[in-house]
């Protein structure tokens, strides 16, 4: 029987969240309906992440949990990067998985589900030359801050990373399609658009890079804020850096992962930038936009990382003064060069380093947040807070701001940032014109 209701659960990066939204719209356009919160769905799509071992293993434990008390189960589609990496092997590992669909093939999800409803177990991990986006229904729903994937895949082949294998080669979407999608997102209520890509700043068309695309998007009326993530240091060109000082709608926030502060480790990671060249980029960005909030990603315990290497990572955290950052323990991934390297680091060493790094990052994050106290700024209201009358919005620097206000999600209001917590800010609304 063809399923009538569905539930999509996305894990991993923002691109997976975006893909999850697109799959929901696709199923919806074919007459299926999203299952309510507590309701059993006829179809469950697990949109998985393969980046670290824990994330990948979670996919299988989540599948197991879908068995119902009476022994029955919904139709199960394994999507995302675990699906791409494991293909039909996933169905050998778990007989509960009916459909396997990779991140470049999910435009075929309705057909695959229909096949599975007939008792087949289809696997589609093709990376077709024709973009899946061309087969997608237009955007009709949008949150105040909406994701828009503009670039997919990665050609960088960092030695620890599965993304080039799970997402394929770097491809940018045509600007015409991006602008059309952006306009429909704004018409559906988005005030902010976050441009997404594994290497979003590698996006280019006819010699024009991401800065040109951002400029074109900035001309859309009703779109108030633009962000982009994730960027690679090597693709941070001068035009994009300059854009931070020139385009008012481009928010003062830059996620620029460095991974390590040690040149030796960076070489072994095949990052093709050093600590100094990274710091020079940060200097240039700050010259263009002095208040910019810089964020990053770090890996501790890469094979061969010595105490001295790790100390250099702490040093670069101090040198940059991150407003926020994500840090991970190195996780060996099947098929990647680093997984075969000697000198894999002991777990307790990794644990200690991670803790030390996170403390250092938290110190700088708190300092950045304190530095904003007393600032008058605007926040985009995104959702209701815990207490009545309280709403949560985002500052230009991507801080969560709690504020007492009558404003609704999607409104941009004037606030003064009055207090800083370790992870969020408190704002006081400035006088509102009567509606
Ligand atoms: N394309 C982006 C993000 C890739 S995945 C970039 O290059 O920055 C997000 C983060 O996961 C990476 O920045 C890295 O810090 C982390 N990561 C990737 N592979 C990993 C692995 N094998 N073990 C631990 N962390 C990893
Ligand atoms: Fe992975 Fe490196 Fe590509 Fe980022 S740049 S997705 S870390 S291979
Ligand atoms: Fe994970 Fe795939 Fe994103 S591995 S981080 S979901 S690209």
Q: What is the pLDDT of residues 406-418, one digit of tens each?
A: 999 999 999 999 9
Ligand 3 atom at shortest distance from the alpha carbon of 47? 6
Per-residue pLDDT tens for 150-201? 999 999 999 999 999 999 999 999 999 999 999 999 999 999 999 999 999 9
For residue 435, is pLDDT > 60?
no
Contact between residue 196 and residue 148 where contact means Cβ atoms under 8 Å apart: yes
Q: How far is CA 219 from CA 138, 141, 223, in A?
A: 21, 21, 8
Ligand 3 atom at shortest distance from the alpha carbon of 55? 1
Omega before 230 cis (within 30°)? yes
User: 308 CA to middle of ligand 3, Å?
Assistant: 30
For residue 432, is pLDDT > 80?
no
Contact between residue 208 and residue 161 where contact means Cβ atoms under 8 Å apart: no
Please give the pLDDT value at position 433.
60
Ligand 2 atom at shortest distance from the alpha carbon of 297? 7
Average pLDDT, the chain: 96
In short, whether 160's Cβ falls inside 6 Å of ligand 1 is yes
Which mutation among 153, 167, 257, 324 tests ligand 1's pocket best, with the greatest number of atoms within 8 A of CB? Answer: 257
Tokens encoding 44: 């469950």
Distance, in Å, from the CA atom of 155 to the CA atom of 167, rounded to the nearest integer, reads: 10
In this structure, the residue with its CA closest to atom 7 of ligand 3 is 163
Q: Where are the beta strands (DSSP E) in 287-340?
A: 293-300, 324-329
Per-residue pLDDT tens for 193-236? 999 999 999 999 999 999 999 999 999 999 999 999 999 999 99
pLDDT over 70 percentage in the chain: 99
In this structure, the residue with its CA closest to atom 10 of ligand 1 is 297
Distance, in Å, from the CA atom of 45 to the CA atom of 396, rounded to the nearest integer, reads: 34
How far is C-alpha 55 from the chain's CA centre? 15
In this structure, the residue with its CA closest to atom 1 of ligand 3 is 49
Ligand 1 atom at shortest distance from the alpha carbon of 255? 8
In short, whether 310's Cβ falls inside 6 Å of ligand 1 is no
The dihedral region occupied by 118, where left means phi > 0, alpha psi between -120 and 50, and beta the remainder, is alpha
In short, whether 198's Cβ falls inside 6 Å of ligand 1 is yes
| Phi, psi dihedrals of residue 27, rounded to the nearest 5° | -65, -40
Distance, in Å, from the CA atom of 165 to the CA atom of 275, rounded to the nearest integer, reads: 26
In short, whether 357's Cβ falls inside 6 Å of ligand 1 is no
Give the domains, in start order, of the chain with CATH numbers: 5-124 (3.40.50.12160), 132-371 (3.80.30.20), 376-429 (2.40.50.140)
Per-residue pLDDT tens for 28-52? 999 999 998 878 999 999 999 999 9
Contact between residue 85 and residue 53 where contact means Cβ atoms under 8 Å apart: no
Which mutation among 8, 15, 197, 230 tests ligand 3's pocket best, with the greatest number of atoms within 8 A of CB? Answer: 15
pTM of the entire predicted model: 0.96
Contact between residue 124 and residue 79 where contact means Cβ atoms under 8 Å apart: no
Could you write out the DSSP letters of every residue in 279-298? Answer: HHHHHHHHHH-TTPEEEEEE
In short, whether 338's Cβ falls inside 6 Å of ligand 3 is no
Q: Which residues contact 379 (CB under 8 A, 6 or more apart)?
A: 393, 394, 395, 401, 403, 412, 413, 415, 427
Ligand 1 atom at shortest distance from the alpha carbon of 338? 22
Distance, in Å, from the CA atom of 334 to the CA atom of 318, rounded to the nearest integer, reads: 33
In short, whether 330's Cβ falls inside 6 Å of ligand 1 is yes
Mean pLDDT of 382-405: 97
In short, whether 16's Cβ falls inside 6 Å of ligand 3 is yes
How far apart are the two ends of the chain, measured CA to CA in Å? Answer: 51
If we measure between CA atoms, which residue out of 177, 43, 19, 205 comes closest to residue 102? Answer: 19
User: 161 CA to middle of ligand 1, Å?
Assistant: 6
Please give the pLDDT value at position 423.
85
Q: Where are the beta strands (DSSP E) in 354-411?
A: 376-384, 390-394, 400-404
For residue 131, is pLDDT > 90?
no
Please give the pLDDT value at position 112.
98
Which mutation among 259, 299, 354 tests ligand 1's pocket best, with the greatest number of atoms within 8 A of CB? Answer: 299
**Counting ligands in written order, which one lies closest to the CA of residue 230?**
1
Please give the pLDDT value at position 431.
82
Which mutation among 84, 164, 255, 339 tests ligand 2's pocket best, with the greatest number of atoms within 8 A of CB? Answer: 164
Tokens encoding 69: 């008390």
Contact between residue 59 and residue 342 where contact means Cβ atoms under 8 Å apart: no
> Within 6 Å (CB) of ligand 2, which residues are found?
154, 156-158, 161, 163-164, 198-199, 232
In short, whether 102's Cβ falls inside 6 Å of ligand 1 is no
In short, whether 154's Cβ falls inside 6 Å of ligand 3 is no
Per-residue pLDDT tens for 139-151? 989 999 999 999 9
Please give the pLDDT value at position 129.
75
For residue 303, is pLDDT > 80?
yes
In short, whether 297's Cβ falls inside 6 Å of ligand 1 is yes
Which mutation among 102, 127, 166 tests ligand 3's pocket best, with the greatest number of atoms within 8 A of CB? Answer: 166
Contact between residue 411 and residue 423 where contact means Cβ atoms under 8 Å apart: no
């Amino acid at each position: 029987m063809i399923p009538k209701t569905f539930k999509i659960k996305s894990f991993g990066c923002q691109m997976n969240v975006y893909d999850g939204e697109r799959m929901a719209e696709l199923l919806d356009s074919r007459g299926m309906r999203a299952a309510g919160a507590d309701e059993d769905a006829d179809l469950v799509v697990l949109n998985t992440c393969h980046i670290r071992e824990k994330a990948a293993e979670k996919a299988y434990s989540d599948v197991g949990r879908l068995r119902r008390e009476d022994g029955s189960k919904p139709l199960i589609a394994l999507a995302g990067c675990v699906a791409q990496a494991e293909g039909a092997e996933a169905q050998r590992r778990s007989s509960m998985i009916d459909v396997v669909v990779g991140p470049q093939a999910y435009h075929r999800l309705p057909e695959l589900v229909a096949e599975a409803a007939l008792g087949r177990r289809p696997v589609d991990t093709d990376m077709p030359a024709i973009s899946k986006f061309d087969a997608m229904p237009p955007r009709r729903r949008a949150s105040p801050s909406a994701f828009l994937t503009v670039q997919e895949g990665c050609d960088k082949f960092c030695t620890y990373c599965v993304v080039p294998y799970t997402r394929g080669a770097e491809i940018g979407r045509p600007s015409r399609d991006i602008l059309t999608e952006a306009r429909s997102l704004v018409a559906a209520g988005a005030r902010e658009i976050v441009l997404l890509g594994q290497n979003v700043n590698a996006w280019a068309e006819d010699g024009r890079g991401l800065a040109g695309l951002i400029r074109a998007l900035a001309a859309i009326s009703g779109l108030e804020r633009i962000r982009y993530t994730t960027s690679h240091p090597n693709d941070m060109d001068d035009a994009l850096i300059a854009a931070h000082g020139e385009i008012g709608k481009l928010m003062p926030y830059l996620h620029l992962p460095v991974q390590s502060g040690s040149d030796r480790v960076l070489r072994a990671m095949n990052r093709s930038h050093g600590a100094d060249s990274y710091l020079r980029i940060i200097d240039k960005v700050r010259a263009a936009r002095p208040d910019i909030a810089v964020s990053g990603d770090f890996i501790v315990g890469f094979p061969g990382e010595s105490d001295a290497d790790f100390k250099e990572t702490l040093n670069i955290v101090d040198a940059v003064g991150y407003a926020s950052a994500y840090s991970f323990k190195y996780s060996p991934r099947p098929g990647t060069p680093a997984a075969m390297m000697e000198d894999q680091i002991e777990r307790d060493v990794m644990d200690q380093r991670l803790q030390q790094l996170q403390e250092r990052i938290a110190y700088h994050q708190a300092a950045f947040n304190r530095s904003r106290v007393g600032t008058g700024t605007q926040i985009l209201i995104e959702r209701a807070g815990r207490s009545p009358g309280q709403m949560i919005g985002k500052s230009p620097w991507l801080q969560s701001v709690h504020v007492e206000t009558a404003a609704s999600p999607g409104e941009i209001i004037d606030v003064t940032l009055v207090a800083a917590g370790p992870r969020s800010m408190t704002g006081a609304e400035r006088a509102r014109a009567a509606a």
